[in-house]
Amino acid sequence: MNGESDAIDLGDVARSIRHGWNAVLGFLLFGTAVAAAIIIWAPRKFESSSTLVIRESNRGASILARLGVPGDAGSLLGGSATKSSLETELAIIPSRALLGKIVDSLGLQGRLRNPAQRPATSVMAAMQLPGSFKERKYEFTRGSSDKVYNVRGPSDSATAVAGTPTRLLIGAVTLRGDTALPSHFELSLLDREDAITYVQKHLLVEKVEGEVVRVQYKAGDSITAARVPNTLVGVYLARRKTTDRGTNAKRVDFLTLHADSVSGELAVAEDALRRQQEQSGVLDPVTVGKVAIERASELRGELTNLQIESGAIDLLLTQVQQGTISTRQLAAFPTFIKSPAISGMLGQLGTLEAERQKLLATRTEADPEVIAAEQSIKTAEGQLLPIARSYSSSVAKQRSDMERQLDTLRTAALTLPKNAEAAVRKQRDVIRLGQVFAALQLQLVEARLSEIDEGGDARQLDVAEPPKKPSFPEPVTTMGIGIGGGLVAGLIAALLLSGLGRWARDPAEIERIAGVPAIRFNASAPLLLAGGKDTRTILVLPLDASIPVAAVAHRLADTASARSIRATVLDIASKSPSKANGRTAMTIAAAVPAFDVNATIRRLEQEYDLVIVELPDLTSNATAAALSPDRGVLLVASARRVDRLQLANTLQTLKRLDVPCAGIVLNDGSRDGVVTI
């Protein structure tokens, strides 16, 4: 037999299910019965839902973003940070604080048991159940009149009159007096915390899509299933408006106060900046510094030119005084040459010189006209010296003025860093306070708008309606689950019984258990054994004493004869002569009560090629005498079912005796080989 494989044989699975059909059918019927019982007797559950939309406002953040105010500054000033996120709202709606109001307003501390599918408020007008207690059931039975009921509880009793509070150990209840009440009903009462927990357990609040939230509730009656979502949404919206109203009013007061404070600080900072600018004369330190540097550079260049020009004119005047040069040479000074007045004076001197030379050509130097011409020349030359001295004085004065200007610029430059530092600090304060003031003003506008739009953009979309049909049990779904679950459980049970049950019915299953080949007996098919070439004796042993082995033994003899093997059958099981179905095989009867089994088998082994021995069972003395390590055993078991434990014990006994097992034949007990299962 081959080793076990990890693969699943679908044929084996099918056979296991076929053999365990009774388990499959039993579980299928059980699942169907359970589903039918749930459909008929299970308490009905009704489900209804309401939806609402919750939008978050981002007006403040968007306005601040347009003005360039950082997002963190806006949040610190109370922008969108005061608006609850959708996740927070999803946690607030099913909170115990809101559910407590629902329990009180709808009277959910009471549940009507009988008749069912009706709210407790249909029979109860009011409940006052303070304190903590376990759930208690009270039975109300009509008494002497339609308004009088006898109340019986687990530890107390009372008489209730409709419209009048009835005192119980756990509190007081008031029956409705404005409507007809049933003659008998049962009421379960819970304390407030347990009622809130019950409602919270059956409530579902979830985000559907986007900013839409669904509030769903399951109850034992359709009216309560619709009332709870609608009432909860109404309480939540009212709470949201009330909370926002207080928050927005406080925000307006807070922002107004701080806006006034920041406005005063901004005015002080602006006044300080103005005074600093007036005292320093610097409006913009950067611009002033740049202009001062450029102006100082220009003055320094002009001063250098004046210093050169002053030195040159002073040198010429000194030479004129010393007589090394004539006064007329002063006109050669570059600045004088450029002057139109000096140019006209030089032209006049040229004209006078020309007239003098012309006169000297015909006259002497003592001539009055020549003397007059010379006098005119000297007068013109004499005008150059005062002009040069005046120009020298003017240049000196310009140089002195420029030096003073440079000193002033140098002094201003030395004080510029200090003034710039003070100016930048004061400008920074003005800018910062201006931004804060602008942000506060925007947030103040936002708070006032939120105060107008109290509650934000939250509104109910769908109103919960009392459902017409219960959500549980749903007949088709429940029956499908019951049938499917029963079928799956039955299949699993059939497989478990096949692998772990007491009985084995299939040859493949028996092969897995025994580890040797197993076949069903068929009288019309040859019966061959693996490794039978060197086997001289085959012991045919029934697994149970009630299983006949003659048909198997004779079929082995017939198969051996067909293969030209001289075979004989030794029947120790019945101790009576038998024939090998009329074939060439011989039958040796062991009719003598006491005979040597081993000696008989050895004698037959000397006479025949194959000896087939029919044994009674494993517990008989003849079987014990016939067992030998050199003789193979062919087990014969019932074709209907095989006891796993008995088979395992038999194989274990053979293994301990070192007796090989050639295989297992499943026989139904008929000699003609017809197998009936």
Alpha-carbon dihedral sign for residues 388, 392, 393, 395: positive
Token reading at 598: 């081993």
Res. 416 pLDDT band, cuts 50 70 90: low
Residue 431's H or E segment, with its range, is helix 368-452
Instruction: Tally the residues of the chain.
Output: 677
pLDDT of residue 396: 79
Distance, in Å, from the CA atom of 251 to the CA atom of 259, rounded to the nearest integer, reads: 12
The pLDDT assigned to 426 comes to 75
Secondary structure (3-state) at 52? strand
Residue 163 has pLDDT above 60, yes or no: yes
Q: Which two tokens stand for residue 163?
A: 């419209």
Q: Are 203 and 216 in contact (CB under 8 A)?
A: yes
Alpha carbons 289 and 297: distance in angstroms, whole number: 12
Number of separate helices (H) and strands (E) present in the chain? 18, 21
Which pLDDT tens digit goes with each residue over 1-53? 444 445 556 766 777 777 778 888 999 999 999 999 998 988 889 999 999 99
- Structure-derived torsion over alpha carbons of residues 564, 570, 576, 582, reported in degrees to the nearest 10: 0
Residue 70 reports pLDDT greater than 70: no
Query: DSSP E strands: which ranges in 493-616?
Result: 503-504, 518-520, 537-542, 567-571, 586-589, 610-614
The answer to whether residues 522 and 529 touch, using CB atoms and an 8 Å cutoff, is no
- Which structure tokens are listed for 96? 């115990």
Chain center to CA of 647: 57
The HSE-up count of residue 25 (CA atoms within 13 Å, CB side) is 5
Q: How far apart are CA 129 and CA 103, in angstroms?
A: 12
Backbone angles phi, psi at 636, to 5 degrees: -115, 120
pLDDT of residue 196: 95
pLDDT tens digits, residue range 521-560? Answer: 888 888 877 655 567 899 999 988 888 888 888 888 988 8
Order across the sheet with 518-520: list the strands: 518-520, 661-667, 632-638, 537-542, 610-614, 567-571, 586-589
SS3 (DSSP) at 659: coil
- Which amino acid is residue 550, in one-letter code? A
The residue behind tokens 């030794």 is 570
Q: Measured between alpha carbons, how far is 20 from 348 in angstroms, rounded to an integer?
A: 152
Angle between helix axes 644-656 and 507-514 (nearest 10 degrees) is 40
- Is residue 194 pLDDT above 90, yes or no? yes
Tally Cβ neighbours within 10 Å of residue 109. Answer: 24
- Encode pLDDT of 320-373 as tens digits: 666 666 666 656 556 654 556 565 666 666 676 677 677 777 777 777 777 777
Range scoring the smallest mean pLDDT among 49-58, 166-175, 288-297: 288-297
Asked if residue 395 has pLDDT above 80, the reply is no
Round to whole Å and give the CA distance between 9 and 5. Answer: 9
pLDDT given for residue 404 in this prediction = 79
| Alpha helices per DSSP H over 563-669 | 597-607, 621-626, 644-656
Which range among 252-256, 530-534, 549-553, 648-652 shows the weakest confidence by mean pLDDT?
530-534
Alpha-carbon dihedral angle through residues 419, 421, 427, 430, given to the nearest 10 degrees:
-110
